[in-house]
Chains A and B, each alone.
Chain A
């Protein structure tokens, strides 16, 4: 297509606006950058072709999960568009979910789909193995054995709860993950397209109320606060990343605990926080206010934060809301953006 000056100029200004809009830093202009945004771009020693990378985003899963991104209404015209009209524009977190879910035949334990590394190490054992075991407080220990992926970025997706981390030097990684559903599914994916999955029944899940928030990138300033039974910010009953407690609090049934997921040092990190309360065995009753707070900082001020909120849908399932929030201008650095109603308060009855 011949370039028309007027439009290329517009493109430049769009790209400029976008860089601000995605304060956490993803300008989806081309296939390569799209792949980068979803965490599938070349990283470290693995250097697949871009086409390989975006091949993971198969047509069906994209249309199932992705929401077309066009403009942000009522704000500056901010338009992100994928290269081909058939490829939707997705918010980064949704895209990460899509990427992690798009493999086929994921239910068996062990390697399901080999990536570039598997091909490269012909003859070597590059099988990715997952082992999930139930832990106290409806937690799941997920051990990833990925001998060919030492130091590589990995994305873990548990029924929509997504985070990224780095496989250790020795080719293994163990993560302790709050079960979001009773029949839990775990899928891991690597940047070259390799995926593996496993499932685990976690019957103790029904004793816990759980909500989660996930987002992409350091510097988002985002976090969950659970204000238990009338507590204010900073009180003993304010459970947040700075006072997170551990799952034994849940076992004692006198309070909830917060689990942080994702390695902030992983490239393009997908991070999550999960708050759990042992509602099934609670000795207290009342309301736990769930707040999302974003510290307004120089990385996010005046821009937008993209996140996903996970909570019970009230009908027995999990409700995942994709949220883009406008962050106040930079003259308010140091203040907080507080959102009270994205995650609904927990109403706890004593047992």
Chain B
């Protein structure tokens, strides 16, 4: 008797496991019988039928129709498949927690199947039916590989620790995957920061940014040049395909017209790199803020003495020069519903809390009031060169004394025409919050700043134009928000309150920014 039941079960599973139904005609009939289409069955994504009719290919919402014919799929047996590929650090350390939290939140049971240490599959089970609803396949490789297999059609979502390169954008276009730079095809997952680490016995505990750059490019080769022992400096870094060297090159090395030294010890694994460096007092590495292991973290400062904090707020506001957003890229086609649900979930406060608990920097805006900005104010007062500087500081304190700063900043890729990537993702987050009414009955103030080069009045004008440009971008990104309830004001502060040194390119880049402040009305 038991075997008879097993056979029945196997038949059922046979249909579940078979490849998608062949080219057979089906008829989709609306539940009230008023509409009927017949065509060749192409696909079912768990939500929509795709059929080829005499009128062309049609997508039909499965909830509204009944499928008749031999080619109809078994709707209950449909298993969504989503393939992730890319940066091992994110895939191995962040994704399992996120998938499990997503499963718990949406009432799925889960099980992870580990095929190799670099390849695993999450099965999400639907509780009421005890059927597998989805399989999420994960390949832990690196950013370059993830983007490559995305272009090759072997992944649905690429996981990257850096932005796409022009070559990768073209490859995706050639593969008819659309425009990977479009906001519809990418999403910022979380933020990270690169920090220098060394062995715990190394006496050097602080470096200026230009010292770090000279170390990594091989211009400074001995710790004695930095107040340490007379010993050659061993350079360590994650391998190039991880994407992390590119972050360092783009954000700092390029500004100094320098290149990474050829004497770098490359590492495939972040944990292994931190463990290696922790034991060598002559070693230095640029590591993810989250994966410093038992190594000693070296703090960075600007050449003029500004300390560069890499805490959550400084990373969110991009006031730290080596922030590294993590990205997801996907093709310009309809992903299964559960994949879209998962991507939406990643933007929720719940998912962001999981990301924060893992030691990464989440994207949610935090509020700090002016009291907590004391250090910045103090720096600003000390740097204020003349009466004009002090006057604008006074007006800033007067304007913002009863407001708090949100941990989002906006910066531009040169000029004021194009916001940089992290800022675009900040715009999208703000837009979502605005449309959801989160800032209703509050006043947002976009505060524009400039660097300290040139004429103060001209800088004030530039700062205002930047703030206005950000407001335009917010209006554009949040078409359904009620801006009569969430007021957005603009304030120009010019060169008051620098956050980095103006005598360096990267410092001026950081200073040219728009901050967002909020007060209750």
Contacts and interface: CB of A to CB of B under 8 A. Distances in A.
Interface of A: 1, 3-4, 7-8, 10-11, 14, 29-32, 63-75, 77, 79, 81-86, 88, 91, 94, 229-230, 286-287, 289, 313-315, 319, 321-326, 337-342, 344-345, 347
A3 B4 CA distance: 7
Contacts, number: 155
Contact of B358 (A8, A84, A314): A314
Contacts of B128: 63
A73 B127 contact: no
A11 B3 contact: yes
B151 interface: no
Given A11-B7, A230-B275, A70 B132 contact: yes
A323 B10 contact: no
A111 to B, nearest CB: 31
Given A68-B125, A326-B115, A29 B2 contact: yes
A52 B175 CA distance: 59
Contacts of A11: 3, 6-7, 10
A341 B92 contact: yes
A91 B113 CA distance: 11
A289 B2 CA distance: 47
Nearest to A79: B13
A323 B100 CA distance: 12
Contact of B112 (A81, A322, A345): A322
Contacts of B113: 72-73, 323-326
Contact of A339 (B12, B114, B126): B114
A319 B10 contact: no
Interface string B1-21: 011111111111100110000
Interface string B271-315: 100110011000000000000011000000000000000000000
A319 B100 contact: yes
B339 interface: no
B96 A67 contact: no
Contacts of B114: 323-326, 339, 342
Nearest to B5: A83
Nearest to A33: B2
Contact of A286 (B9, B109, B112, B294): B294
Contact of A66 (B8, B92, B130, B135): B130
Given A8-B3, A85-B9, A314-B357, 10 more contacts: A7-B7, A68-B130, A70-B132, A287-B294, A289-B293, A314-B353, A315-B354, A322-B111, A326-B115, A341-B96
A86 B135 CA distance: 21
Nearest to B350: A315
A228 to B, nearest CB: 9
Contacts of A68: 109, 125-126, 130-132
A5 to B, nearest CB: 11
A323 B114 CA distance: 7
27 contacts: A1-B5, A11-B6, A29-B2, A64-B127, A67-B123, A68-B125, A68-B131, A71-B13, A73-B113, A75-B115, A77-B17, A81-B6, A81-B9, A82-B9, A88-B125, A229-B294, A286-B293, A313-B100, A314-B97, A314-B357, A323-B111, A323-B114, A341-B92, A342-B114, A344-B97, A344-B358, A345-B271
Contacts of B97: 313-314, 319, 344
A331 to B, nearest CB: 16
